[in-house]
Structure 1
Amino acid sequence: MLDATLKAQLKAYLEKIQQPVELVASLDESAKAREMQALLEDIAALSDSVTYVRQDDDKRRPSFMIRRKGTDIGVRFAGVPMGHEFTSLVLALLQVGGHPAKLSQDVIEQIRALDGDFVFETYFSLTCQNCPEVVQALNLMSVINPRIRHVAIEGGAFQAEVTERNILSVPAIFMNGEAFGQGRMSVEQILAKLDTGSTARAAEKISAKDPFDVLVVGGGPAGAGAAIYAARKGIRTGIAAERFGGQVLDTMAIENFISVQHTEGPKLAAQLEAHVGDYDVDVMNLQRAEALIPARQEGGLHELRLAGGATLKARTIILSTGARWRQMNVPGEDDYRNKGVTYCPHCDGPLFKGKRVAVIGGGNSGVEAAIDLAGVVAHVTLIEFAADLRADAVLQRKLASLPNVKVITSALTTEVKGDGERVTALSYKDRNHDTVHEIELEGIFVQIGLVPNTEWLKDTVALTNRGEIEVDYRGETSRPGIFAAGDCTTTPYKQIIIAMGEGAKASLSAFDYLIRLPTEETVAVAA
């Protein structure tokens, strides 16, 4: 099941197990069950601290429990956790085996203090880059607090459940049989939903912080670059981020990051967070900015208000709030989001195996999505508003070679239709003949670009008619002491490497601004 290289790597990890664990399998006669048995036997053979036993004591088959021997502490996987979930499997083995959790003591105590019995079920796909964070978060919580139970379910192996529960987007999280959450969620986000008083406590703690010399708003590549460059100057630096990593977390393959031939978004985001953590930066994650009140006079304090009720103050602000997927804004889109309308072909594509789908958008993202989906679904219809596709020629040639793809250009999507439970059709208008057509399908993948996260800044700093923050060559906005960087700005070419550079530049500009303030208002700069 595992090749020699992977076995050697796994063997080294398993040496970190501090308490013996059991792999308790519930199998049937399927090919998946044989694959699972081979995987579990391979793992058990690599460590004296791991034993394999078949008990067939769970209703979901094939599945297996990773259990700390002699206890009720454990987690369950239904299906074979390979692909993106192999890391989740390795971490579960270590954590059930007593390896310390990489969480702050405050968060660990908050998990332990949860009052109630919680049974979580997470449906994932092996190609979903967002699913591991949810699986790993709930696995870890169940190890810390025995009143929490979690089973991670591979949707492709349990299609009947996926259909019964109308799951058309992953990760899909259920708690005690009821829908709990959809999409990427961290330990802190899950805790915030379970512990309703945590938001108020966090707001009080944040509001008590002293003013920052540089406060970065947003934790993507631009924000991380800005924070690192500011902290290296020895000035008081903070980051307030709705989710650290930003849009990078939703990116699959990254092959144009200079000096790194290949990486994936979640991996890069983790590396950004670790790099920021090497410096004295106050990171306030899961904090959505709601309003910015500029200083009344140059050199004064700017005020940032957060959605949770907290307020932060800073001498300079760097706005790096990034962008999000653009929506079609047609009737039915909101009604059927995660019920057939989705924005991530890598995550949700496997859920549409053998079905008919549409991809909206003829740029690189849309054409790449259509190519990927063509290998999974029965048929793909790609719909592009313009008269021609905008994707690179090499991608268009590949798309044209696929027999189960149809391309429709000069088409305006007008409505998403459904039966109340899931998508059943899409309507579009032929812009050449002004006629309306309907396509019967089960899924719609929207790939029409990005929109900047700047609505909350209206009437605060100058924005373009597209919502981008207007910046000059130094990253300065229309307000003194307020800078901006990354995909939320007018800087062209929305690329990760450009965002990082722009973040660093904005930070250097902020530092230059600070040291040129009148002496009595100048920040204390470390020698």
Structure 2
Amino acid sequence: MLDANIKQQLKTYLQMLRHPIELVASLDNSDKARDMEQLVQEIAECSDRVSVRLDGDYNLRPSFSIAKQGEEGRVRFAGLPMGHEFTSLLLGLLHVGGHPPKVEADVIEQIKGLEAPANGGHFETVISLSCHNCPDVVQAFNTIAALNPAFSHTMIDGGMFQPLVEQRKVMAVPTVFQASNSATGNSTESFGSGRMTLEEIVAKLDTGAAQKDAAKLNAKGEFDVLIVGGGPAGAAAAIYAARKGVKTGIATERFGGQVLDTLGIENFISVKETEGPKLVAALEQHVKEYDIDVMNLQRAKGLQKLADGKVEVELENGAKLTSKTIILSTGARWREMNVPGEAEYRNKGVAYCPHCDGPLYKGKRVAVIGGGNSGVEAAIDLAGIVKEVTLFEFDTKLKADAVLQKKLYSLPNVKVILNALTTEVNGDGTKVYGLSYKDRATDEVKQVELEGIFVQIGLLPNTDWLKGTLELSKHGEIVVDHKGHTSMEGVFAAGDCTTAPYKQIIIAMGEGANASLAAFDHLIRQ
């Protein structure tokens, strides 16, 4: 299972274990169970502080738990945690073994103080091994389980446990369920889906977190530069401001923004290729090198100019932050089709990330909405997994690059329908079974039978909260000049939420730096 290089690395990491742990496997007669037995044995060979038992009686087989010797395992993997999930396995070994997680001290104390919910402290995350968002959720719940004995967690590989996926109607990953106890199948209910950070999960479990957070934020005092939004533009703006020696803060709903949902990045100059989460981790590390107050999980609600010339940002939790200058970098989100059935069947057949959710549609028929680069790339990727892909484009021709179109049309299981307007998502109340569209040339409404719909039609700026406050374009973008000035004095903007013509990571970073320098210029002139 593990090559010599990985084994050597594992031996090095397992030296950090502070107390003995044991891997308890619940196996059956399948090939996957034999692979799992080999995996746990090979892990045990890497450290004399790791032992193995093969007499587990967990309901999901094959699976194995990681436990401190003498205790019941609270961190479990139902499936082989390889690929993106190998890091989850490694961290699970270390954290159960007493090595402290790299988490802020106040978050660790908050986790240790959590009480198990009345409906149970066991959580299960259904994942896909190809999903780059899933490990964050798995690692977050594993950390909680390792630190707090009132909680336990099981990672479930959806590809290995298809009957469970069908039974629970899982159509997107990661999907988290809360169970009444650790025996899978007993009173499970949905807890959440999609990417979630440790802080987000802890805040959801800690019912009094919002009020405590608001009190802390209200006591922050005045900033010189406050950035709202923590994507590439916001990170660049914060670094440039902090380097000027002024009091700088970032209030962001989730650090990294849309980049966290981007898999392959091949046009970030000087970096041949990377992935969104890796780039965000590097950005976060760079920001931490400076004296920047990062306020995560904070969603802006309102903006107003105060009588003394300062600017105030109101947050969803009721807190208010004041600053001499503001830089708005709230980014954008996936554009929706806004047709009947889309909201009802989101994560039940309507999806927005082909990399994450594609494996759940293996052997099925799917549609891709959108003929730009994102849509065509999604169709190409899905064609290697699903039975059939139908791509729908509103225009009379595809907008994607020629090289992508050539690849698309070479695939035998891809069909392209041009001049098509999607009118409705069809479902049976629990899942999607088709799509209705209008042929724009004839006005005839037609239906296509399928099991999944991937929407890839561009982005919408996150500026709804600014309507009536700042000048916005007809597309909802913040109107800015060449220095990032908005229509309100002392307020600047950068990135995908603005009228900057090209929505690219590298451009957003440049615009963030530009707006930050303009904000500093405004400060010294005041």
Give TM-score scaled by structure 2 length. Answer: 0.96
**Aligned counterparts, 1:71-86, within 5 A:** 71-72=71-72, 74-86=74-86
Which of 273, 289, 302 aligns to 1:291? It is: 302
Quick one: distance in 2 between partners of 1:472 and 1:188? Answer: 36
Quick one: distance in 1 between partners of 2:68 and 2:404? Answer: 49
Q: RMSD between aligned alpha carbons?
A: 1.2
DSSP-derived class of the 2:303 partner: strand
Displacement after TM superposition at 1:239 (Å): 0.4
Query: Aligned partner of 1:112: which letter?
Result: K
Quick one: distance in 2 between partners of 1:256 and 1:492? Answer: 17
Quick one: distance in 1 between partners of 2:13 and 2:273? Answer: 24
Per-residue Cα deviation, 1:296-324 (whole angstroms, up to 9, x for no partner):
46xx2100000011100000000000000
Quick one: distance in 2 between partners of 1:31 and 1:346? Answer: 26
Quick one: distance in 2 between partners of 1:250 and 1:133? Answer: 12
Contact 1:130 1:347 in 2 (8 A): yes
Contact 1:223 1:503 in 2 (8 A): yes
Corresponding residue of 1:26: 26
Query: Aligned partner of 2:204: which letter?
Result: K
Percent pairwise identity: 65
Corresponding residue of 1:240: 251
Corresponding residue of 1:174: 177
Contact 1:294 1:460 in 2 (8 A): no
Contact 1:73 1:146 in 2 (8 A): no
Contact 2:88 2:139 in 1 (8 A): yes
Corresponding residue of 1:487: 496
Per-residue Cα deviation, 1:296-353 (whole angstroms, up to 9, x for no partner):
46xx210000001110000000000000000000010001001000100011111111
Corresponding residue of 2:184: none
DSSP-derived class of the 2:172 partner: coil
DSSP-derived class of the 1:260 partner: coil
Displacement after TM superposition at 1:160 (Å): 0.4
Instruction: Confirm or deny that 1:324 pairs with 2:333.
Output: yes
Corresponding residue of 2:121: 118
Quick one: distance in 2 between partners of 1:402 and 1:89? Answer: 37
Query: Aligned partner of 1:285: which letter?
Result: N
Corresponding residue of 2:134: 131
Contact 1:231 1:280 in 2 (8 A): yes
DSSP-derived class of the 2:159 partner: helix
Instruction: Confirm or deny that 1:431 pairs with 2:434.
Output: no
**Aligned counterparts, 1:54-203, within 5 A:** 54-72=54-72, 74-116=74-116, 117-176=120-179, 177-203=188-214
Query: Aligned partner of 2:224: which letter?
Result: D
Corresponding residue of 1:303: 312
Contact 2:65 2:73 in 1 (8 A): no
Mean Cα displacement is larger for which, 206-215 or 38-47? 38-47
Query: Aligned partner of 1:264: which letter?
Result: E
Corresponding residue of 1:281: 292
Quick one: distance in 2 between partners of 1:73 and 1:442? Answer: 37
Contact 2:377 2:404 in 1 (8 A): yes
Q: How many residue pairs get matched?
A: 515
Per-residue Cα deviation, 1:250-279 (whole angstroms, up to 9, x for no partner):
000111111212211111111111111111
Corresponding residue of 2:269: 258
Quick one: distance in 2 between partners of 1:410 and 1:216? Answer: 42
Mean Cα displacement is larger for which, 310-319 or 24-33? 24-33
Corresponding residue of 2:185: none
Quick one: distance in 2 between partners of 1:29 and 1:258? Answer: 50
Quick one: distance in 1 between partners of 2:4 and 2:107? Answer: 38
Quick one: distance in 2 between partners of 1:384 and 1:6? Answer: 45
Displacement after TM superposition at 1:16 (Å): 1.7
Corresponding residue of 1:213: 224
Contact 1:125 1:131 in 2 (8 A): yes
Query: Aligned partner of 2:381: which letter?
Result: D
Corresponding residue of 1:522: none
Query: Aligned partner of 1:383: which letter?
Result: F
Quick one: distance in 2 between partners of 1:21 and 1:74? Answer: 12
Quick one: distance in 1 between partners of 2:473 and 2:369? Answer: 25
Corresponding residue of 2:485: 476
Quick one: distance in 1 between partners of 2:325 and 2:72? Answer: 51
Quick one: distance in 1 between partners of 2:216 and 2:56? Answer: 49
Query: Aligned partner of 1:129: which letter?
Result: H
Quick one: distance in 2 between partners of 1:149 and 1:368? Answer: 38
Displacement after TM superposition at 1:119 (Å): 0.7
DSSP-derived class of the 1:157 partner: coil
Instruction: Confirm or deny that 1:51 pairs with 2:51.
Output: yes
Displacement after TM superposition at 1:164 (Å): 0.3
Query: Aligned partner of 2:297: which letter?
Result: L
Quick one: distance in 1 between partners of 2:190 and 2:434? Answer: 25
Contact 2:25 2:53 in 1 (8 A): yes
Per-residue Cα deviation, 1:439-486 (whole angstroms, up to 9, x for no partner):
011100000000000011112111100011111111111111111111
DSSP-derived class of the 1:156 partner: coil
Contact 2:496 2:503 in 1 (8 A): yes
Quick one: distance in 2 between partners of 1:501 and 1:46? Answer: 46
Structure 1 runs not aligned, ≥5 long: 518-527
Displacement after TM superposition at 1:70 (Å): 2.1
Quick one: distance in 2 between partners of 1:398 and 1:46? Answer: 45
Instruction: Confirm or deny that 1:314 pairs with 2:323.
Output: yes
Contact 1:333 1:416 in 2 (8 A): yes
Quick one: distance in 1 between partners of 2:131 and 2:301? Answer: 30
Corresponding residue of 1:222: 233
Quick one: distance in 1 between partners of 2:11 and 2:398? Answer: 49
Quick one: distance in 1 between partners of 2:15 and 2:405? Answer: 49
Contact 2:74 2:151 in 1 (8 A): no
**Aligned counterparts, 1:445-524, within 5 A:** 445-517=454-526
Displacement after TM superposition at 1:228 (Å): 0.8
DSSP-derived class of the 2:141 partner: helix
Displacement after TM superposition at 1:73 (Å): 5.2
**Aligned counterparts, 1:395-414, within 5 A:** 395-414=404-423
Corresponding residue of 2:377: 368
Contact 2:175 2:194 in 1 (8 A): yes
**Runs of 4+ residues deviating >4 angstroms:** none
Quick one: distance in 1 between partners of 2:256 and 2:296? Answer: 10
Quick one: distance in 2 between partners of 1:13 and 1:252? Answer: 27
Instruction: Confirm or deny that 1:336 pairs with 2:324.
Output: no
Contact 1:72 1:146 in 2 (8 A): no
Displacement after TM superposition at 1:237 (Å): 0.4
